């Protein structure tokens, strides 16, 4: 990543090519250590487990599809703990490898009861392997050499490679389905590549809907709210304001809003703060719905 940004003198901010390589490896190792906690010490109740329980109970006509930009394995861990069958585009037993056709041809994909997990920026347990002269993406033990797309100015071009182009195509296909609904959490809409797919689908069909649940308060003049003001099928919900049906504004202070226990906080001034963009609160909300 950084090596390709080096100048003609073979240096980058005073670092040689070898030093840049060592720095890249250190960054990669730090990312893997940070996003790969000891899953054996996780509490019995944590957000991903709550989400998995909702998946197991939800009545549906189509498979649940999870598109994540995260490198960690928390979804895999939670879904397996709840004994939910998961398909991630890899096939094989001794050394599972990525099989792009499984994302494009329905006959390859498991049935409705399998949850589909698409890791659009890679995973800490993926790596590249050479098999009979050709490269594959394989799934195995967590490694500091995990196959990851890092935030960088080159990410757009890198993501056209397999398997990332296949996951992007899958997201586009998903959004093109009749009455498609995509609920977005933990994403700030700062990735040009992902935005292109989401916004393109919203513009192409008014029957496609996206609910963007934001963790942080957002400015009324931000690009996401402006887009939602022009696109009625994009719903935005941040702590301080939102956009529904093209109408942008702050949340009301009425009793009905306050009654949404667990997802709404009340300030001393009576202002309401919608916390659905907090993944933990969102999962609690899902569980409360399935208990009704």
What average pLDDT score do residues 190-194 get?
89
Residue 14 has pLDDT above 70, yes or no: no
162, 167, 168, 172: CA torsion to nearest 10: 140
Query: Directed axis angle between helix 47-57 and helix 74-81, to 10°?
Result: 50
User: Would you give the DSSP letter of residue 94?
Assistant: S
From start to end of 124-267, where are the E strands?
Answer: 126-131, 134-139, 147-148, 181-185, 209-213, 234-237, 241-244, 247-250, 264-266
Residue 128 has pLDDT above 70, yes or no: yes
What average pLDDT score do residues 231-256 get?
89
Query: Directed axis angle between helix 192-204 and helix 164-176, to 10°?
Result: 20
Residue 11's pLDDT is what? 62
What average pLDDT score do residues 268-288 get?
86
User: How many Cα atoms occupy the beta-carbon half-sphere of 71 within 13 Å?
Assistant: 26
Do 50 and 75 form a contact (C-beta atoms < 8 A)? no
Residue 153's pLDDT is what? 47
Average the pLDDT over each of 123-127, 179-183, 245-249 and give the range with the smallest value.
Answer: 123-127
CA 110 distance to own-chain centroid: 21
Residue 159 has pLDDT above 80, yes or no: no
Extract the tokens encoding 59. 């009545």
The residue ranking higher by pLDDT, 2 or 215, is: 215
Average the pLDDT over each of 129-138, 148-157, 195-204, 267-276 and give the range with the smallest value.
Answer: 148-157
Task: Give the span between the Cα atoms of 144 and 134, in whole angstroms.
Answer: 22
Task: Give the span between the Cα atoms of 271 and 250, in whole angstroms.
Answer: 9
What average pLDDT score do residues 259-288 get?
82
The residue ranking higher by pLDDT, 245 or 153, is: 245
Task: Give the span between the Cα atoms of 283 and 289, in whole angstroms.
Answer: 10
Helix, strand, or coil (residue 89): coil
Residue 10's pLDDT is what? 63
Query: Measuring CA to CA, which residue among 52, 114, 31 is closest to residue 279?
Result: 52
Average the pLDDT over each of 32-46, 47-61, 96-110, 240-254 and give the range with the smallest value.
Answer: 32-46
- 291 pLDDT band, cuts 50/70/90, is low
- 29 pLDDT band, cuts 50/70/90, is confident
Residue 172 has pLDDT above 60, yes or no: yes
- 252 pLDDT band, cuts 50/70/90, is confident
Whole-prediction pTM: 0.86
Extract the tokens encoding 30. 């730090």
Longest CA span, the chain: 67
What average pLDDT score do residues 255-279 get?
75
Query: Measuring CA to CA, which residue among 266, 268, 264 is closest to residue 284?
Result: 264
pLDDT digits (tens, 9 = 90+) for 50-106: 999 999 998 888 899 999 999 999 999 999 999 999 999 999 988 999 998 899 887
What average pLDDT score do residues 146-173 get?
73
What average pLDDT score do residues 119-135 get?
86
Question: Alpha helix locations (H) across the chain?
Answer: 17-35, 47-57, 74-81, 101-104, 155-158, 164-176, 192-204, 223-230, 255-258, 279-290
**What is the pLDDT of the chain when averaged over all its residues?**
84
184-210 burial code (b ≥16 CB/10 A, e <16): bbebebebebbeebbeebbeebeebbb
Residue 3 has pLDDT above 80, yes or no: no
pLDDT digits (tens, 9 = 90+) for 96-111: 999 988 998 878 888 8
Residues 6+ apart with CB under 8 A from 244: 235
């Amino acid at each position: 990543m950084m090596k390709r940004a080096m100048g003609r003198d073979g240096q980058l901010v005073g670092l040689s090519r070898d030093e840049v390589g060592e720095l890249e490896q250190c960054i990669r190792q730090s990312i893997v250590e940070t996003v790969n906690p000891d899953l054996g010490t996780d509490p019995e109740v944590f957000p991903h487990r709550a989400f998995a329980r909702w998946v197991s109970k939800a009545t549906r006509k189509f498979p649940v599809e999870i598109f994540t930009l995260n490198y960690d394995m928390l979804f895999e861990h939670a879904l397996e703990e709840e004994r939910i069958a998961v398909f991630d585009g890899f096939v094989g037993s001794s050394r599972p490898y990525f099989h792009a056709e499984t994302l494009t041809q329905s006959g390859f994909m498991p049935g409705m009861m399998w949850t589909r997990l698409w890791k659009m920026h890679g995973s800490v347990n993926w790596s590249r392997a050479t098999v009979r002269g050709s490269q594959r993406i394989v799934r195995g033990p967590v490694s500091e050499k995990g196959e990851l797309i890092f935030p960088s100015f080159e990410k757009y071009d890198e993501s056209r490679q397999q398997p990332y182009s296949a996951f992007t195509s899958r997201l586009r296909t998903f959004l093109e389905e009749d009455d498609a609904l995509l609920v977005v959490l933990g994403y700030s809409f700062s990735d040009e590549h992902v935005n292109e797919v989401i916004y393109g689908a919203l513009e192409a069909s008014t029957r496609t809907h996206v609910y963007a649940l934001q963790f942080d308060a957002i400015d009324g003049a931000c690009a996401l709210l402006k887009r939602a003001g022009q696109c009625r099928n994009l719903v935005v919900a941040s702590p301080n304001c939102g956009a529904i049906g093209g109408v942008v504004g702050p949340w009301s202070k009425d009793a009905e809003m306050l009654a949404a226990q667990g997802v709404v906080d009340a300030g001393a001034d009576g202002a309401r703060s919608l916390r659905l963009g907090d993944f933990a609160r969102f999962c609690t909300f899902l569980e409360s719905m399935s208990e009704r």
